[in-house]
Amino acid sequence: MHIHILGICGTFMGGIAVIARQAGHTVTGCDAQVYPPMSTQLESQGIALIEGFGAEQADIGADVFVIGNVVSRGKQPLMEAILDRGLPYVSGPQWLYENVLKDKWVLAVAGTHGKTTTSAMLAWILEDAKLNPGYLVGGVPMNFEVSARLTESPFFVIEADEYDTAFFDKRSKFVHYRPRTAILNNLEYDHADIFPDLAAIETQFHHLVRTVPGQGLVVANGGDGNILRVLGKGCWSGVEYFAGPGFGWKAVPVDATSFDVTLDDQPVGRVNWELVGEHNRQNALAALAAARHVGVSPQVAIEGLGRFRNVKRRLEVRGTVNGVTVYDDFAHHPTAIATTLAGLRSRVGDARILAVLEPRSNTMKLGTLKDQLAGSLKDAQRVFCYSKDLGWDAAGALAPLGAKSATHDDLGELVEAIATETRPGDQVLVMSNGGFGGIHGKLLERLARP
């Protein structure tokens, strides 16, 4: 079968492309903006990319067009041609369920934050335990070097996104996956472009809970009141809690990169790994609980976590020049920004942190959470914000930070301002859910010049 994917360079749709190729299908695709790591991953898999959504692609000979949620009515000529000519099309999540997931034990990882990292952890634990899982995550796990794969294993780990499915299916993606094991990591207001309020997101999360079978398991953050409220609407499967009061899975920090795990107040083992931060300890607890549900003992899983190498763009070191280290991170929500800063602080001690932010997600572009932004960045010594094309006043939002914040709407000027400010020992934390104009390489190049 020949499938042509619209929006192929999104992390989810790119993963579908890889899985479809591994399943033996002919795969092509198109998108408007491409950047690593997804563009390079697709090229390495031999998947042909077409720039743009031209109507002529309707004649490419595809048996079905798989539609990403970046596609909307009236904006892409190709979609209009597909509709006008009555060509077969389907959403990405529906294609994935009908062609892959319906025959698998699905382990789905949902939550506002930590989905990608937790999915990668869980896939690696199963891999390390010789279960050879299939998986699809919204990033590139360093243990695998590819964001998705299809195997003969009965187990499949998937990052379960609450974003809508397609322009013709406004349910959250994760409703299609029908997991037997579901992680509910946390829940906050996000995706302001499609959800009017937190209650609307909670409704979608409860739709996910409704799909878990009675013999399944929900692994839930017991310290998150919003998650508890979702479960309070009804749950018909087993539940295990982590990171909350009372019994359940807990993490007791030993130092920056190790912690003890307990289950119902009984010691389980100690994790020694490369990751930092309380958020990653919670991610690990969720992964341990989910892995136990498919038969991996906590002791074996803990050993596997010691070999986990994280995901690209999660506090990923892009280079060090003249004593200045530049990191790349995907943080795109005030809570994620704060936890990423806290994690880096635990790693670098008293070193200066220069935070560089591109408010690129739809929620951030709308300015919905702008009043939380200054508070999330307060632990950085200097803050730089790329303000191009924002519909709100970034300087005003960051005003509570005083003189330590600066905004720039020109990328070159931003790079120069950061480079001028740095000194040996500084840690430059770049945060964006996009390519950020290649700022990491440009900054490293500038730091190398006198």
Give strand ranges (E) for 185-323: 217-221, 238-242, 249-255, 258-263, 266-272, 316-321
Gap between the Cα atoms of 87 and 55, Å rounded? 12
pLDDT value of residue 26 = 94
Answer yes or no: do 294 and 353 share one domain.
no
Show which of 64, 91, 118 is a domain's final residue: 91
- Which tokens sit at 298? 């906590």
Asked if residue 187 belongs to a domain, the reply is yes
Answer yes or no: do 9 and 125 share one domain.
no
Q: Which of 309, 323, 296, 317 is CA-nearest to residue 155?
A: 296
pLDDT value of residue 206 = 97
pLDDT value of residue 17 = 95
Q: Do residues 287 and 221 lie in contact, with contact meaning Cβ atoms separated by under 8 Å? A: no
Asked if residue 233 belongs to a domain, the reply is yes
Show which of 28, 63, 91 is a domain's final residue: 91
Per-residue tens of pLDDT for the chain, all 450 residues: 999 999 998 889 999 999 999 999 999 999 997 666 677 778 888 898 899 999 999 999 999 999 999 999 999 999 999 999 999 999 999 999 999 999 999 999 999 988 999 999 999 999 999 999 999 998 888 899 788 999 999 999 999 999 999 999 999 999 999 999 999 999 988 887 888 899 999 999 999 999 999 999 999 999 999 999 999 999 999 999 999 888 899 999 999 899 999 999 999 999 999 888 888 999 999 999 999 999 999 999 999 999 999 887 888 899 999 999 999 988 778 888 998 898 899 889 999 999 999 988 777 777 778 888 899 999 899 999 999 988 889 999 999 999 999 999 999 999 999 999 999 999 999 999 878 889 999 999 999 987
Query: What type of residue is 429?
Result: L
Q: Is the peptide bond before 37 cis (omega within 30 degrees of 0)?
A: yes
- Which tokens sit at 327? 């990191």
Q: Which of 159, 166, 162 is CA-nearest to residue 69?
A: 166
3-state secondary structure (DSSP) of residue 267: strand
Answer yes or no: do 74 and 217 share one domain.
no
3-state secondary structure (DSSP) of residue 208: helix
Say how many domains are in the chain: 3
Q: Produce one character per residue of 6-31: b if its CB has 16 or more CB atoms within 10 Å, e if not.
A: bbbbbbbbbbbbbbbbbeeeebbbbb
Beta strand 266-272 with 258-263: parallel, antiparallel or unpaired? antiparallel
Answer yes or no: do 340 and 227 share one domain.
no
pLDDT value of residue 34 = 67
Instruction: Specify the CATH number for the domain of residue 372.
Output: 3.90.190.20
Answer yes or no: do 437 and 293 share one domain.
no
Gap between the Cα atoms of 428 and 419, Å rounded? 10
Answer yes or no: do 342 and 368 share one domain.
yes
Answer yes or no: do 224 and 284 share one domain.
yes
- Could you tell me how many helices (H) and strands (E) the chain has, helices first? 15, 23
Beta strand 258-263 with 249-255: parallel, antiparallel or unpaired? antiparallel
Answer yes or no: do 253 and 280 share one domain.
yes
Q: Identify the H or E element spanning 283.
A: helix 278-293
Q: Do residues 6 and 17 lie in contact, with contact meaning Cβ atoms separated by under 8 Å? A: no
Gap between the Cα atoms of 4 and 1, Å rounded? 10
Asked if residue 311 belongs to a domain, the reply is no
Instruction: Specify the CATH number for the domain of residue 227.
Output: 3.40.1190.10
Chain centroid to CA 249: how far?
23
Answer yes or no: do 11 and 39 share one domain.
yes
Asked if residue 265 belongs to a domain, the reply is yes
Answer yes or no: do 6 and 28 share one domain.
yes
Show which of 61, 91, 121 is a domain's final residue: 91
Gap between the Cα atoms of 324 and 315, Å rounded? 15
Cβ count near 402 (within 10 Å): 8
Name the phi and psi angles at 406, rounded to 5: -150, 145
Where do the H-state alpha helices sit in 333-427? 334-348, 362-366, 373-376, 394-397, 411-421
Instruction: Specify the CATH number for the domain of residue 63.
Output: 3.40.50.720
Range(s) of the domain holding residue 53 = 2-91
Q: Do residues 255 and 274 lie in contact, with contact meaning Cβ atoms separated by under 8 Å? A: no
Answer yes or no: do 346 and 430 share one domain.
yes
pLDDT value of residue 118 = 96
Answer yes or no: do 105 and 86 share one domain.
no
Cβ count near 317 (within 10 Å): 10
Asked if residue 310 belongs to a domain, the reply is no
